Structure 1
Amino acid sequence: MLGKRTIKGRIGFAFAVVMLVCFSLLPFAQILSTSLKHQFDWGNPSLIPQALNLNAYKELLGLTEVKKVEIPVAIQKILDNPKLPQDKKDAIAAKYVANDNLFPFGKYMLNSIMFSVGAAFISLIFAVMGAYAISRLRFKGQVVIQRSVLFVYMVGGVLLMVPLYQMAMNIGLASTMWGSVVCLFLIYIVQTLPVGMYMLGNYFRGIPFALEEAAMMDGCSRTEAIIKVVLPLSLPMLATVFIYCFIIGWNEYLFASVFLKQYPEFHTLPLALQELFVSKNAIWDRIMAASMLTLAPIVVCFLFASRFMKGGKTDGGVKG
């Protein structure tokens, strides 16, 4: 019978799926293995470390004690002077802290969270409004906007980088630190908004308009009907769009390297990891540990949003 699978076919299909999953997870397993190995074990092809090494994770997470350099005798006499103010003593002592090998991973992670979460949230708000207008309202140029909303993805980021930077310089934004931050926010929103509108527009069309009409008959305005009916029924797609926008902002490197290159205090994780790789502190276990910690927010985001990714919430909402 057509479509009936034999036992050999099922075994072969399961084997192919397992091999595909193993092939996809092998690079991540290699990264995790290297991050947990000592230097003498880096050349070992085995994924299991001979001795567990958590020093790289402790350094990146700030769990190690800061080592101090031996203070010269002359400087120590100055610090022992009771007439010297305490704030000046602290400033002098801070210069003798061995922090050359420390990688401020926490600061870079906060920067990435600020850019990716902020841009994803703003993009989601505008995507909801634009998608609802395209799917529910009738106005001139609706079909053109609906079909051309993804036009921005026909042009690569490399081609847009130079004109966008020139525009930002001409209006004076890219010449200041906060102006560059605003430019990067706007670029992330422009990158993620079209596909968010496209995905949400198709999802809104699948929600029966009769549900909104029933809410408006009960006294709700159109805005209240959107908030109380459409958005709760769209939680699966809202979570999907937010995750998509978040991942784009989290992994973006090209525009961040252009607009934030001269502002190290706002470097994101992709930019910071690239600079760590070519710096004098490029230690393999530290690089791999930073890579694993960079993956953690994406995994947590997927696990948190997975409970919203369920369909069929409108089934039975309208009788035939």
Structure 2
Amino acid sequence: MLGKRSLKGRIGFVLAVGLLVSFSLLPFAQILSTSLKHQFDWGNPSLIPQAINLEAYKELLGLTKTEEIQIPAAIQKILNNPKLSREKKEAIAAKYTSNDNLFPFGKYMLNSVMFSVGAASISLIFAVMGAYSISRLRFGGKVVIQRSVLFVYMVGGVLLMVPLYQMAMNVGLASSMWGSVFCLFLIYIVQTLPVGMYMLGNYFRGIPLALEEAAMMDGCSRTEAIIKVVLPLSLPMLATVFIYCFIIGWNEYLFASVFLKQYPEFHTLPLALQELFVSKNAIWDRIMAASMLTLAPIVVCFLFASRFMKGGNTEGGVKG
């Protein structure tokens, strides 16, 4: 009886996990499927396209030449209307065949990389210094700082947006392009630094202090001990914190829409995807292809960082 219950429990657990994973992956499968479908196949509920369409990816990545761009079937029907004047037909056709208004996906992706990687790198550097100070050093107010480091997350971004923008306007930063970019960098760092310090602080406390003391007895300074001992042993958590900060900056929309709205040359991908809905490329395969390309850097980042996601690097470092 116990064996049957155990078997039923395992089957139920596998089914529950399978349903949860399927429910989580279904939206991404739908995005990928729609991005690979032709217009005649958009109404097909099947996730498998009848014919693979890569034109949207080619156009977004700049691999399609002007003469290769095809006018959508719905627009072609309008052009076939005999009541439409020749001038209007040429104007409509020029809108869909010229490269002047193509969606500059590469520029927006480069902007997102600049903001997310830059902010994540700076946040990681400050998080290492702050977390080490809290976990290893003794100074006045340490307990207060340690317990209040996550206070910034008690207030939502919607509530902080207006006062932060007013502060930026009062000091004259938000009135210029580079000032707005600088403010957005600071906001991304402030958003990610507390959790980075919290995660790294807990990890640093798990590294035996004897390893640093041994390095300093061999002639290393505290800074050298941190670089040669603490940081190599903390690679898993460093990678985790960097990925977390990177994802926050990559997906952030609210503050970017406020500080960068009037500077389209610095728009990030979340802002650009919204603009794609009102551009001439507001077609389902292009929208979904842009969404898939936006997800790609995060997936690649996880794949490359997965080899660092392991623990136990300090086991055996100190004798009992």
Question: Aligned to 1:9, what secondary structure does the other structure show?
Answer: helix
Residues 5 and 127 (structure 1), Cα distance of their counterparts in 2 relative to 1, 3 Å cut? farther
1:259 aligns with 2:259: yes
Residues 176 and 4 (structure 1), Cα distance of their counterparts in 2 relative to 1, 3 Å cut? farther
Q: Is the contact made by 1:119 and 1:245 (CA closer than 8 Å) also made in structure 2? A: yes
What is the letter of the counterpart of residue 60 of structure 1? L
Deviates more, 1:97-106 or 1:33-42: 97-106
What is the letter of the counterpart of residue 156 of structure 1? G
1:42 alignment partner in structure 2: 42
Structure 2 spans left out of the alignment, 5+ residues: 70-96
Matched residues in 2 for 1:41 and 1:159: separation? Answer: 43
Matched residues in 2 for 1:12 and 1:170: separation? Answer: 59
CA-CA distance at 1:19 after TM superposition: 1.2
What is the letter of the counterpart of residue 224 of structure 1? E
C-alpha distance after superposition, 1:95-124 (max 9, x if no partner): xx8124511000000000000000000000
Counterpart mapping for 1:274-313 below 5 A: 274-313=274-313
1:137 alignment partner in structure 2: 137
1:188 alignment partner in structure 2: 188
CA-CA distance at 1:280 after TM superposition: 3.9
Residues 134 and 277 (structure 1), Cα distance of their counterparts in 2 relative to 1, 3 Å cut? same
Counterpart mapping for 1:190-209 below 5 A: 190-209=190-209
1:14 alignment partner in structure 2: 14
2:246 alignment partner in structure 1: 246
Counterpart mapping for 1:13-92 below 5 A: 13-67=13-67
2:75 alignment partner in structure 1: none
CA-CA distance at 1:260 after TM superposition: 0.4
Matched residues in 2 for 1:146 and 1:5: separation? Answer: 47
Q: CA RMSD in A?
A: 1.8
Of all paired residues, the percent bearing the same amino acid is: 91
Matched residues in 2 for 1:267 and 1:139: separation? Answer: 42
Matched residues in 1 for 2:235 and 2:252: separation? Answer: 26
Matched residues in 2 for 1:26 and 1:174: separation? Answer: 41
CA-CA distance at 1:66 after TM superposition: 2.3
Q: Is the contact made by 1:67 and 1:99 (CA closer than 8 Å) also made in structure 2? A: no
C-alpha distance after superposition, 1:24-68 (max 9, x if no partner): 100000000000001111111110111110000000011111249
2:86 alignment partner in structure 1: none
Q: Is the contact made by 1:68 and 1:98 (CA closer than 8 Å) also made in structure 2? A: no
1:157 alignment partner in structure 2: 157
1:215 alignment partner in structure 2: 215
Matched residues in 2 for 1:159 and 1:167: separation? Answer: 14
Stretches of 4+ aligned residues off by more than 4 angstroms:
1-5
1:85 alignment partner in structure 2: none
Please give the TM-score of this superposition, normalised by the length of structure 2: 0.89
C-alpha distance after superposition, 1:159-205 (max 9, x if no partner): 11111111111111111111111000000000000000000000000
Question: Aligned to 1:16, what secondary structure does the other structure show?
Answer: helix
1:110 alignment partner in structure 2: 110
Residues 126 and 4 (structure 1), Cα distance of their counterparts in 2 relative to 1, 3 Å cut? farther
2:272 alignment partner in structure 1: 272
Question: Aligned to 1:6, what secondary structure does the other structure show?
Answer: helix
What is the letter of the counterpart of residue 52 of structure 1? I
CA-CA distance at 1:4 after TM superposition: 11
Q: Is the contact made by 1:135 and 1:201 (CA closer than 8 Å) also made in structure 2? A: yes
Structure 1 spans left out of the alignment, 5+ residues: 70-96
Please give the TM-score of this superposition, normalised by the length of structure 1: 0.89
Matched residues in 2 for 1:307 and 1:147: separation? Answer: 32
